[in-house]
Amino acid sequence: MKFRCTVKERSLILNNNEQEKRSAGEKAVDFIKDGMTVGLGTGSTVYWLIQKLGKRVSEGLKVKCIPTSIHTERLAMNLEIPIVTFNEIDKIDIAIDGADEVDKDLNVIKGGGGALVREKIIAEFADQFIVIVDQKKLSEQLGKHFLPVEVTPFGWQATAKYIANLGCQVKLREEDEKIFVSDNDNYILDCYFEKIEDAAKLNEKIKMITGVVDTGLFIDMVDLCIVGKGSDTEIIKKQ
Ligand SMILES: O=C[C@H](O)[C@H](O)[C@H](O)COP(=O)(O)O
């Protein structure tokens, strides 16, 4: 028997979800200290982080932020959060970003918003990488969410076939009936696996394919995960 939500129940679920994103995003600001260079992630959870960070900056917090997307850069600039590029920094103290799925070992799938390459470059370079999520993103084993993979536009059809041979359905991402183009002028292939047995191995295999820029699998990169739980949060540290 199928369970159907009433409109009211559905809106309560959505609101709760948004509240959890907000709780996680706002809590993450506690980890940003005066003088830090901060990698700013992308997405609807990071939105809440940026709002609160903007407030702290207006109250006198001194930070430099490097955004993972043009969208985030605009949001931050509107709040007068100081923005820098890689030309102006030699380290990133902390990077904070959302995720589409997080497993018990804090391996994650990212890229639902198509920002995975810049996000990975910044997360890898940061001394500390924190992900912020609502409870729905937690999972025993990665694979509930499709896996975004950024590829070069040239020959994407061939790249897609090689990825499909690894055991998934591949869909070229579209937005408003047009091909979605990333901030790096590349395409995104959304890959639907029934199950991901070994995420690290899969990441390596996909990255070996010519034409792949990078995958949304962030393996062994997360130091800490902040999970929104209603208006509270739980902090999960890497074991
Ligand atoms: O490309 C987008 C990013 O990886 C996002 O951080 C991820 O999709 C999570 O986004 P949201 O917080 O909107 O669910």
Which residue's alpha carbon is at the smallest distance from atom 10 of ligand 1? 43
CA of 60 to the centre of ligand 1 (A): 28
The answer, yes or no, to whether any atom of ligand 1 lies below 6 A from the CB of 99, is yes
**Check whether domain 147-215 has CATH 3.30.565.10, yes or no:** no
Specify the pTM.
0.93
Q: How far apart are CA 190 and CA 174, in angstroms?
A: 10
Question: To 10 degrees, the CA torsion angle through 32, 37, 42, 47?
Answer: 40
What pLDDT does 9 receive?
Answer: 52
Query: In CATH, what number does 7-138+219-229 get?
Result: 3.40.50.1360
CA of 1 to the centre of ligand 1 (A): 32
Q: 137 in ligand 1 pocket by Cβ < 6 Å?
A: no
Q: Is 182 close to ligand 1, i.e. is its CB under 6 Å away?
A: no
41 lines ligand 1 (CB under 6 A): yes
Q: Which candidate in 73, 119, 124, 194 is catalytic?
A: 119
End-to-end CA gap in the chain: 40
How confident is the prediction along the chain (239 residues), in pLDDT tens digits per residue? 434 545 555 445 557 799 999 999 999 999 999 999 999 999 999 999 999 999 999 999 999 999 999 999 999 999 999 999 999 999 999 999 999 999 999 999 999 999 999 999 999 999 999 999 999 999 999 999 999 999 999 999 999 999 999 999 999 999 999 999 999 999 999 999 998 999 999 999 999 999 999 999 999 999 999 999 999 999 999 98
Residue 130 exposure: Cα atoms within 13 Å on the Cβ side: 26
| Domain ranges, ordered by start, for the chain | 7-138+219-229, 147-215
Minimal-distance CA residue to ligand 1 atom 7:
99
Whole-number Å distance, alpha carbon 119 to ligand 1 midpoint, is 10
Distance CA 202, CA 210 (A): 15
Establish whether 124 is a catalytic residue.
no
> How high is the ipTM of this complex?
0.98
